[in-house]
Amino acid sequence: MFKVNVMYPYTEGARFDHTYYRDRHMPMVKARLGNACAYYTIEKGLAGGAPGAPPAFVAMCAFICDSAEGYEAAIQEHRAEILGDITNYTDIVPVLQISEIVVERSDR
């Protein structure tokens, strides 16, 4: 299993609409990915490690997929629509990372 992480670095004064991201953007991306994505996760950054420090990322999401190639093929087809929607919720350029899932959930 693979995980495609999309991480939005915390930036002073930057804009991020968590409601739009949760209710509009992510469901739309999942609909376009179809079976290439098993499920997704979303989190909102609250704090960094040091007392009073901001989080490294204001928001992070992950697409959990059986195959990285399957994800790539599905996303390619809808890239323009997906990228075009980003300005509707943020002006932050996200960091992408593809990971191998080592432990999906420790109690399983």
* Residues making contact with a copy of itself (CB under 8 A): 2-3, 5, 7, 18, 22, 26-27, 30, 38-49, 55-57, 60, 68, 95-107
CB of 64 to a copy of itself, least distance (A): 8
* Pairwise CA distance, residues 88 & 60, whole Å: 17
As measured in angstroms, the least distance from the Cβ of 74 to a copy of itself is: 15
User: Closest approach of Cβ 13 to a copy of itself, in Å?
Assistant: 20
CA dihedral 103, 3, 14, 12 (to 10 degrees): 40
